[in-house]
Amino acid sequence: MKIRSFMLFIICLSIVFCASPQKRLQKERAQSPKYQYDVGAMHLNNNDPDEAIKYFRKSIELDPNFFIAYNALGLACFMKGQFKLAEKHFYSCLDKEPSFTEAHNNLGTVYQEMKLYNKAEREYRIAIEDVNYPSRHLAYYNLSKLFYIQNKNQEALEHITFAIKMKPDFAGAYNLEGIIYEKMGKYNEAIYRYETALKFIPNDLSLNFNLAISYFKSNRQKEAKRIFEKIYPSVTDSEMKSKIEQYLKVIK
Report pLDDT digits (tens) over 106-138: 999 999 999 999 999 999 999 999 999 999 999
Contact 141, 7 (CB under 8 A): yes
Q: In order of start, what are the domains of the chain with their CATH numbers?
A: 1-100 (1.25.40.10)
Q: To 5 degrees, how large is the angle CA 197–CA 201–CA 203? A: 115
The arithmetic mean of pLDDT across residues 161-187, rounded, is 97
For the stretch 6-30, pLDDT in tens is: 555 555 554 444 444 666 666 666 6
pTM of the predicted model as reported, rounded to 2 decimal places: 0.86
Burial class (CB in 10 A: 0-12, 13-18, 19+), 197: buried
What does the pLDDT average to over 202-221? Answer: 97
Pairwise CA distance, residues 86 & 93, whole Å: 11
Task: Please report the sign of the dihedral spanned by the C-alpha atoms of residue 186, residue 140, residue 165, residue 205.
Answer: negative
